[in-house]
Structure 1
Amino acid sequence: MTGIHAGRVAAVTGAGRGLGRAHALALAAAGAKVVVNDLGVEPGGEGGSPGPARHVAEEITARGGQAVAHGGDITTSEGAASLVATALDTYGRLDALVCNAGFLRDRMLVNLGEDDWDAVVRVHLRGHFLPLRHAAAHWRAEAKAGRPAAARVVHTTSGAGLLGSVGQANYTAAKAGITGLTLVAAAELARYGVQVNAVAPAARTRMTERVFAGTMAPPEHGFDAMAPENVSPLVVWLASEASAGVNGRVFEAAGGRVTVMEGWSPGPTVEKAGRWETSEVGEAVRGLLKAARPPERVYGADG
């Protein structure tokens, strides 16, 4: 197959359904050989089945592409290492890593159990860190051997991770961590020819079907604004050599809209020559807040 990814190999985690499936199919359509990773778990992380990953790989090959299914648990070092090894053993290279695996266990904070916290942080944050670490080790070794790659990593964060979301403290914390991980990885790995960016998608999937169940574009547009496939063109481009020079950025993608997100940056400042007294610092802070932009509203917050 020819296209923007001709000759390249991409690994996609959580690629059995939803956004990951859409990304895997789009990468294959653009010419990539794809490693389709998925544990086949339920929306809350229960169970598991090799079926979803296998079905997507078969769908790609039926369309004339090349793909291999991978059922390893990328929240373990062994599973993440085997993801990279599968790409190298099957296709001889790895050029792009798209981290997308995740599930939800939503609870209000006072009802959120430790197991639900750990499970969600593990699949999202650890599930980004470990594949990234093993892929980065490969690309660093390649660069030191005189074979630098035009490697690309696309992480999946969320509007919840950027602004917060009521009832999703575990998910919000994990997705915010992914944003921070993206920035550090982009700075550390650029010397090896690796670019790392993140996408915050808004799309209807098993994780969000209750939120977006009634969201449709006007019929005359002939376009479902919440379809996962709307996000994939940005992911495919970021994962390609065409995105050269784009590094350490976070994008929001929803329907036909793409937004560059601008994170924490210095706002109004006040300074004195010496330590602030408690009796005076409050007035100074209130003055700063009057001069600052109001914070963005947390998703689901009252008011």
Structure 2
Amino acid sequence: MSGLLEGRIAIVTGAGRGIGRAHALELARQGAKLVINDFGVTNNGEKSDSPAHDVVAEIEAMGGQAVVNGADVADFEQAGALIQQAIDTFGGLDILVNNAGFVRDRMLVNATEDEWDAVIRVHLKGHFATLRHAAAYWRAESKEGRQRIARVINTTSGAGLQGSIGQVAYSAAKGGIATMTLVAAAELGRVGVTVNALAPVAKTRMTEGAFDTSEMALPEDNSPIVAWLASEAAGHVTGRVFESDGGKLTLEDGWRHVASRDKGSRWETAELGPIVDALIAEAPAPEPVYGA
């Protein structure tokens, strides 16, 4: 196989089904060698059989190379072993696509502590743990004079960028991932790593039942931008967040300084009402929360 990612080595987490599977297949079509990570859980986070072996078989059938990994990416040691598997199996690591996750949707007043912890753990810690170990490897390679042209693509969501009614934990986790992407991009650029994030829109296990998915894009419609961002051609793009919705690709922009007043001294509480109203009047209206 040959393509934009010929000879590059990639990990895709949560690659057994849905969007992760589609990303893995597209990276393979473009020539990447892959570690297919899938812990094997239901949409609500319950353990089930992992379909990662089926994805590896699909890749091998098209002439590509891939191996299975069943790590829990939110377990710090297992995440480290996942990164090491790519290095041991294929001789290095060039691409990390963080995609693993599940939902436990609740309105805020009904959300439980366990549900909150589970969602934050798999999404936010699951992104951190793999990225932390990969970053350590890439920094060590750079220090030894073997700097790799490395790429990270994280998975955020419109829920994390604009918020989503009934998804307080998921929105918080995905918002954290978007911010983590900005920090990682700023810190890792010196060792040859770009870090970007994608908010994919697609009909998957996570959206079916929660939304009307009849008009939604397919999982594979989101994968070309991931493959391109994973390529050497994308070296000038880092610290960016994109939303992909079928044939529509949107560059997102996060929190910014949009209006200010500087008194030059401490504000008095009673005088702040008109100041706040003036700032709001000058600023663009925020995009509405999904479901509001």
TM-score after normalising by structure 2: 0.98
Percent identity reads 59
Shift of 1:151: 0.1
User: Residue 220 of structure 1 aligns with which residue?
Assistant: none
* Cα contact 1:34–1:68 (8 A) shared by 2: yes
User: Residue 114 of structure 1 aligns with which residue?
Assistant: 113
Shift of 1:215: 2.2
Tell me whether 1:290 sits opposite 2:281 in the alignment. yes
* Cα contact 1:212–1:226 (8 A) shared by 2: no
Tell me whether 1:264 sits opposite 2:255 in the alignment. yes
Shift of 1:264: 1.1
* Cα contact 1:197–1:249 (8 A) shared by 2: yes
* Cα contact 2:100–2:123 (8 A) shared by 1: yes
State the one-letter code of the partner of 2:67.
V
User: Residue 174 of structure 2 aligns with which residue?
Assistant: 175
State the one-letter code of the partner of 2:91.
G
Aligned equivalents of 1:167, 1:188: Cα separation in 2: 34
Tell me whether 1:254 sits opposite 2:253 in the alignment. no
* Cα contact 2:181–2:197 (8 A) shared by 1: yes
Aligned equivalents of 2:283, 2:48: Cα separation in 1: 48
> Which of structure 1's runs of 4+ aligned residues deviate more than 3 A?
211-214
What does 1:131-150 align with in structure 2 at a 5 Å threshold?
131-150=130-149
TM-score after normalising by structure 1: 0.95
* Cα contact 1:204–1:212 (8 A) shared by 2: no
List per-residue Cα deviations over 1:9-36 (Å, max 9, x = no partner). Answer: 1000000000000000000000000100
Tell me whether 1:276 sits opposite 2:267 in the alignment. yes
**Which residues of structure 2 form unaligned runs of 5+?**
none
Aligned equivalents of 2:78, 2:236: Cα separation in 1: 31
What does 1:208-223 align with in structure 2 at a 5 Å threshold?
208-216=207-215
* Cα contact 1:204–1:213 (8 A) shared by 2: no
Aligned equivalents of 1:214, 1:272: Cα separation in 2: 50
Shift of 1:289: 0.9
Shift of 1:293: 1.0
List per-residue Cα deviations over 1:195-233 (Å, max 9, x = no partner). Answer: 0000001001100112455423xxxxxxxx510111000
* Cα contact 1:41–1:48 (8 A) shared by 2: yes
List per-residue Cα deviations over 1:224-255 (Å, max 9, x = no partner). Answer: x5101110000000011110110100000001
Q: Aligned with 2:209: secondary structure?
A: helix
List per-residue Cα deviations over 1:152-193 (Å, max 9, x = no partner). Answer: 000000000000000000000000000111001000000000
* Cα contact 2:80–2:133 (8 A) shared by 1: yes
Tell me whether 1:10 sits opposite 2:10 in the alignment. yes
Aligned residues between the structures:
292
Aligned equivalents of 1:9, 1:140: Cα separation in 2: 17
